[in-house]
Chain A
C-alpha cells in the first residue's frame, strides 16, 4: 500500500504562551518552540503500522518553508520512507484551498492508495483532508480512530463522533482520511534516530516543478484572508487569587467549602 501523509510544522501550544505581536499582524515568533502538529504524528504512526502489516511505503509531505524540513526528518526518523518539501515564495499566504491545490499537484505525480492528514492543525480548521478528497474525487472520512485493511480495494474505518462513540464505515480505495489523536501510541524519536536520517535527501518542489501558476495559490489566489490577530476582551473572567501560595490555598479551601467542593 502506497501511503502519503500530509504534515505541518506548528508552534507547540503546550510549550508556548502564544501572544500577538505589537502590530497584530502575526503572533510573536521569537523563541517559539515548534514541533510537528500533534494530530499528524498519530497519522504518520498509523501509516507506518499499516505499511509494516501489508507492505508498501510511507511518504511524508509538507507545504512550508526551509525550516519545515526538520519535521519531515523527524517523521522519517519514526519510519517514513520518503519526505517531500513543497516550498515556494508564491505559496505564502495560501488559504485552505491554496494549500490543497499545492498538495494535489504533488499527489498527482505519484500513485497513492491512501492519503492521511491530521484531523486539524494549529488553526483548528480541519480542512485539508476533506478538500483533498473532494478535489481528487475520492471518498473521505474525518476523525478516524481505527483502520483495518479489508482487501486491495477496501478498508474499514472508525470515526470518533460525539460522546466518544465510534461510527464504523467501509471505504473504497484510494481515499483520504483525517486522523484523530489516540488512534495509536506514536513511537518515541530520539536524537539518534534523527541522526540516522540526517543525510537522506529531501526533494524540494516549487510552483514550476508542480506546474502550478503562482497567482492561483498564495495570498494572490486566496478568497479567505486573515486580517490580524488579537486577544478579545472576554469581560470579567475568573477572579484570580493573589498572595503567597499559603494564602491562595487558604482562600481556595474556604471557597471549596462554601461551594460544596469538600465533602
Chain B
C-alpha cells in the first residue's frame, strides 16, 4: 500500500492555483502509489468549484467551508490542519508567501520533520525521503534526506513539478467543515492593501532592460537608462534595487513584484533567483550579462555574456547609438 499524502490547495475566485496541481504531481514523485488527498479551505460556492476541479486529479478532497476561512489566515489554517491530519501524515504545501507562513510551525505542532522549498523528490528509501533543494540563492544544490517515520511537512517550489495530465480521477469530496469548531488565534486578518501603480507599466513593455544588484551604485543606474533609451526599452529591476529605494516598487520583476511578458528581457547583473524568474512569463528571449560565469541566470537565459556591466553597457549603448 502506498503512502497517504495530503496537499493543501491554494485557490482564488473559484479557480485552483497552478500550484494545487503541481503538489499532486509532487506527491506522485514521492510515491507513485500514494493515495493523495487534497485539502481545500475557504468559504461559499467558490469552494465547490475548486473541489470539482481537484476531483479530476486526485482520489479524495477534504473540504472545509467556514466564513472565518474566507481569507487564508495561516494561523487559523495551521490549527485546523492539526485537528484534521492523522498522526505521521506527509503534508505538502507550496513554498509561496502562504506556505512560508503556515508550514514551519505546522511541523512543530504535528511533531514531524520539515523541509522547505523542495525542487525535486527522488523517492523513499526505508523511512528516508530523498529530496533535492538549493542553497545560496540557487548557486548550489543539495541532496537532503528527511526521516518521514513520524510524518513530514514539505513545501515545494512553485513551477518545479509538472502537473500530470488530468485523468478524471473521480475524487470523492468529503465535507469536514464540522472540524472547524471554535478555533481562535492571536492574529487577526484586517485587509489587503494593493501595491502602488507606478508611472510606467512594465507589464505591458515589449523590451525590458532589467538591472540587479550588479549595478552596485545608484549613480550607475544612468548607464542602464541610457541603454534602454537607445534600444527603445523600459527599465525594470530585481528586488534589491527597490529595497535600496533606487527605483520604485512598480519596476520590480518577480513573485513579490510584477509579472512581465516582454519579447526580449535583458538581465544586467541579476543572479536569477527563482523569486525573480517567477515574474517572467510568456517565454521571453532572455539575454543575461553577468561577470560570474556560474550565475544561475545563465541556466535559463538564451544568450549569455560574461562581462562587467559597468564597462560593457556604456560601450554597447555607444555602438547602438552609432546605428
CA–CA, A90 to B31, complex, Å? 34
Per DSSP, chain A at the interface is mixed
Interface residues of A in 130-172 (CB under 8 A from B): 130-131, 133-135, 138-143, 156, 158-172
Tell me whether A227 is interfacial, beta carbon within 8 Å. yes
Tell me whether B134 is interfacial, beta carbon within 8 Å. yes
Tell me whether B42 is interfacial, beta carbon within 8 Å. no
CA–CA, A175 to B185, complex, Å? 12
Partner of B239, one of A95, A127, A181, A224: A181
Q: Which of A190-198, A211-219, A250-258 lies at the interface with chain B?
A: A250-258
Tell me whether A260 is interfacial, beta carbon within 8 Å. yes
CA–CA, A125 to B304, complex, Å? 29
Partner of B266, one of A124, A166, A180, A261: A261
CB within 8 Å for A262 and B302 given contacts A131-B105, A223-B146 = no
Tell me whether B172 is interfacial, beta carbon within 8 Å. no
Encode B95-122 as 1/0 by CB contact (under 8 A) with A: 0111011111111110001111100000
- Whether the pair B97, A175 counts as a contact (CB closer than 8 A) is no
Distance to closest chain A CB from B229 (angstroms): 11
Interface residues of B in 298-323 (CB under 8 A from A): 298-307, 311-312, 315-316, 319-320
- Whether the pair B187, A139 counts as a contact (CB closer than 8 A) is yes
- Whether the pair B257, A164 counts as a contact (CB closer than 8 A) is yes
Which residues of chain B are within 8 angstroms of A262 by Cβ–Cβ distance?
207, 230-232, 320
Partner of B104, one of A96, A165, A181, A245: A96
Which residues of chain A are within 8 angstroms of B243 by Cβ–Cβ distance?
181-182
Tell me whether A241 is interfacial, beta carbon within 8 Å. yes
Tell me whether B45 is interfacial, beta carbon within 8 Å. no
- Whether the pair B187, A228 counts as a contact (CB closer than 8 A) is no
Tell me whether B2 is interfacial, beta carbon within 8 Å. no
**Which residue of chain B is the closest to A167 with respect to CB atoms?**
B192
Number of A-B contacts (CB under 8 A): 269
- Whether the pair A239, B109 counts as a contact (CB closer than 8 A) is no
- In which size bucket is the chain B interface? 35 or more
Per DSSP, chain B at the interface is mixed
Q: Which of A10-18, A54-62, A80-88 lies at the interface with chain B?
A: A10-18
Distance to closest chain A CB from B69 (angstroms): 15
Distance to closest chain A CB from B250 (angstroms): 8
- In which size bucket is the chain A interface? 35 or more
**Which residue of chain B is the closest to A121 with respect to CB atoms?**
B135
- Whether the pair B245, A185 counts as a contact (CB closer than 8 A) is yes
Tell me whether A110 is interfacial, beta carbon within 8 Å. no
- Whether the pair B187, A165 counts as a contact (CB closer than 8 A) is no
CB within 8 Å for A263 and B146 given contacts A122-B136, A130-B100, A168-B190 = no
Tell me whether A20 is interfacial, beta carbon within 8 Å. yes
Q: Which of A1-9, A71-79, A199-207, A229-237 lies at the interface with chain B?
A: A229-237
CA–CA, A234 to B143, complex, Å? 16
Which residues of chain A are within 8 angstroms of B116 by Cβ–Cβ distance?
124-127
Top 6 A-B residue pairs of the complex, sorted by shortest distance between their CB atoms: A263-B232, A130-B104, A238-B304, A134-B105, A261-B264, A139-B186
Other A-B pairs beyond A18-B140, A19-B294, A231-B140, 6, CB < 8 Å: A13-B271, A123-B135, A130-B103, A139-B185, A163-B258, A240-B293
Q: List residues of A whose CB falls within 8 A of some B CB.
A: 11, 13-14, 17-20, 27, 95-97, 100, 119, 122-131, 133-135, 138-143, 156, 158-172, 175, 178, 180-182, 185, 223-232, 234, 237-241, 245-246, 248-250, 252-253, 255-256, 259-263
Q: List residues of B whose CB falls within 8 A of some A CB.
A: 73-75, 78, 96-98, 100-109, 113-117, 132-137, 139-147, 150, 185-195, 206-207, 213, 230-233, 239-240, 242-245, 249, 252, 255-259, 263-264, 266, 271, 285-288, 292-294, 298-307, 311-312, 315-316, 319-320
